[in-house]
Amino acid sequence: MGRSLAKTLIESHLVAGKAVAGEEIGLAADQLLLTDTNGIQSWLQFEAMGFPRVVPKRVVSYIDHQVFAPDSRNSDDHRYMQTAARKYGAVFSKPGNGICHQVHMETFSRPGEFLLGSDSHTPLCGAAGMLAIGAGGLDVAVAMGGGPYCLTMPAVVRVWLTGALRPWVTAKDVILELLRRYTVRGGSGKIFEYAGPGVQSLLATQRMTIANMGAELTLTTSVFPSDEITRSFLARLGRADDWRPMQADDDAEYDDQIELDLSSITPLVALPGSPDKVVPVEEVAGTEIQQVTVGSCTNGSWHDMAQVTNVVRGRRVHPSVSFVLFPGSHRILATMAREQLLTELIAAGVLVSEPSCGSCAGIGHVPAAGTKSLRAFNRNFSGRSGVKDDAVYLCSSLVAAASALTGVITDPRTLGAEAPVRLPERFAASDVGFVQPDGGGDVVRGTNIKPVPLGEPVAASLEAPVLLKLGDKVSTDDISPAGSAALMFRANVPAISEYCFKYVDPEFVPRAKAAGRSILVGGEIYGQGSSREVAAIGPMFLGVRAVIVKSFARIHRANLINWGVAPLTFADPAAYDTIERDDVLRIDGLRAALVAGTPIAVTNTRTGATFATTCVLTPREREILLAGGVLAHTKGATP
């Protein structure tokens, strides 16, 4: 039988293991992508491991989150990343050059190659027929030094698309529909490979939106074929020579298949709190809003900017609404200027901001307390916008633009006929934001850049209090909040650790320090969302030595192992209900059980009851965890 496109991509980069679902594999990366949030730790870890130069043929270090630099410590981080990139052989993307995923797709995407990124939305480049996977910063640092990226081989699910999108329905509605059907847990351990006659009706930018926001399904990645749509996209960027066809064999086998008729989809909105709380727009139409934003790596493309312009042309933004646009890249912004889109947007009262991640990560344009914000972004976890108890609705760019005109959530189908989006024959050339490495200069470290901490080896036994008992869908935003105040400390673990669980329990940090060693307990899909590694490093630094949950999100589980924190899973989920915060749990023989790969018994000293947990590890993961994480393991292995 033939191979799926996903399996073809994986096998062409396989350096360890077999591409059999459920087995650990090692992949050699062609390209790496680093951000100024998670990627700065990757650089520090790369240096801590002593590598002389990056090994993959293309490494790009982006400044795209903290573009506004409201504090000199942000600029210190930028200078560190630029000088490190110069010395060690990476391209540097300046602030304002754009969002890493959008810029990488436009500039460096090559069908058939493997891109590993320090950001969870790296799968956007799967829209170009690439294998594109997001990972924790330490995994990226290892790959920078030439090591393989290791993961469990996912199941490959074919998503068979038929039909075509109707007027006022967008690619954002496609991924929201999948979230409505399968929830944020539905893609765990899977790759979605899109196929079927409906694929040909989707432009490259629409495929980008779907592949990008597949991260919210907890997918390992998403893959589209590289076809004539892909070739046309690259040609408009002046990169036709980088195109090559990539598709599944006609008789390819899949682990599962789901079907989706694009013509059956309607405009959708995700309610505050989670991207999978999806309802038809008509159910929330009329809800008063005070802020509308469009952008992020999910909705910052030319297609999104043009759609918004078509809606607001000749109209005015409602007096009670602040409407902010974040173009995805400098290239898109330059093309918008050339094609007169900026003139139309400014006349309508739209604020066009720098090409950046911006308010998606709570940096700038934080909504007023107690107000509602409507955003064409990818995540709406509570507090992610930068204010506690926010109310962020997610939608398409068309729903956002229509609502900005009325001051309430509005079904765009009420506006009449939808104007078509015109694709430019050629996008503006844009390389002014890139700095090429020359191997010279010294790496400059500001006072805010601190040494990388080491984890400690797993103890023979552990007795510690449960500092927090958390529910389902705990995100990395819950663990280590977004927002400019915290993000300026991404290179300073002691400082950013002070923000751990800030919105969940303001007293968590002093309680953790007083406890010395501690345990966290949670429900399903613990650690969903951003790949931010500090959500593992921070708790580790504060003494958390084990996390016991019903299930983990893929990247966060890997991050915990990489930092020496034992990721334990309830053998019987009902045991979760027997635990209370501040219970002292005793884990006798923890290290021995991890070594043997046997169930791990945990005793609640308050009740005297014992329950079983599991920690299924590969031999590689076991060595890393027992040593106290990758850096501790590497240091111990160095003569």
Helices (H), 194-236: 204-213, 228-236
Q: Above 80 in pLDDT, residue 635? A: no
Q: Which residues contact 23 (CB under 8 A, 6 or more apart)?
A: 17, 152, 153
Indicate the DSSP class of residue 329: B
**Mean per-residue pLDDT for 261-282?**
98
More confident residue, 386 or 626: 626
Span 387-408, average pLDDT? 96
Is residue 428 situated within a structural domain?
no
Q: Are residues 282 and 248 in the same domain?
A: no
Is there a domain that residue 96 lies in? yes
Q: How confident is the model at residue 276 (pLDDT cuts 50, 70, 90)?
A: very high
Domain for residue 435, yes or no?
Answer: no
623 and 569 share a domain?
yes
For residues 530 and 599, membership in a common domain is answered with: yes
Is residue 457 included in any domain, yes or no? no
* Domain termination residue (choose one: 244, 264, 284): 264
pLDDT-based confidence at residue 636 (cuts at 50, 70, 90): low
Whether residue 639 is predicted with pLDDT greater than 50 in this model: the reply is no
Give the residue from 243, 264, 285 where a domain finishes.
264
Mean pLDDT of the chain: 96
- CATH code of the domain covering residue 311: 3.30.499.10
Residues 157 and 294 in one domain: no
| Domain final residue, candidates 415, 450, 483 | 415
Task: Looking at the structure, tell me whether residues 274 and 256 fall in a common domain.
Answer: no
Share of the chain above pLDDT 70, in %: 99
In total, how many domains does the chain have? 3
**401 and 512 share a domain?**
no
Produce one character per residue of 17-51: b if its CB has 16 or more CB atoms within 10 Å, e if not: bebeeeebbebbbbbbbbbbbbbbbbbbbbbbbeb
Confirm whether 594 is domain-assigned: yes
Distance spanning both ends of the chain, measured CA to CA:
48
Which whole number is the average pLDDT over 577-587?
98
Residue 177 shares a structural domain with residue 313: no
Whole-angstrom distance, CA of residue 171 vs CA of residue 396: 8
Q: What is the pLDDT of residues 108-167, one digit of tens each?
A: 999 999 999 999 999 999 999 999 999 999 999 999 999 999 999 999 999 999 999 999
Q: Give me the pLDDT at residue 486, please.
A: 87
The predicted structure's pLDDT at residue 483: 85
Q: What is the pLDDT of residues 33-81, one digit of tens each?
A: 999 999 999 999 999 999 999 999 999 999 999 888 888 988 999 999 9
**Percent over 90 (pLDDT), the chain:** 94
- pLDDT tens profile 369-383: 999 999 999 999 998
Residues 378 and 526 in one domain: no
- Domain presence at residue 567: yes
pLDDT in tens, 427-482: 999 899 999 999 999 999 999 999 999 999 999 999 999 999 999 999 999 999 98
Q: Which DSSP string corresponds to 76-139? A: HHHHHHHHHHHHHT-EEE-TTSB-HHHHHHHHT--TT-EEEESSTTGGGGGGGT-EEEE--HHH
Residue 427, in any domain of the structure? no
SS3 label, residue 40: helix
DSSP 503: T
Residues 219, 343 share a domain: no
Examine the domain organization and report whether 517 and 376 are in the same domain: no
Q: Which tokens is 369 given? A: 């307390």
Q: What is the mean pLDDT of residues 214-223?
A: 98
Q: What pLDDT band is residue 484 in, cutting at 50, 70 and 90?
A: confident
Assigned domain for 89 exists = yes
- Is the pLDDT assigned to residue 638 strictly greater than 90? no
Residue 637 has pLDDT above 70, yes or no: no
Does residue 477 share a domain with residue 405?
no
Name the residue range of residue 510's domain: 462-637
Q: Looking at residue 543, which CATH number applies to its domain?
A: 3.20.19.10
- One domain, residues 224 and 302: no
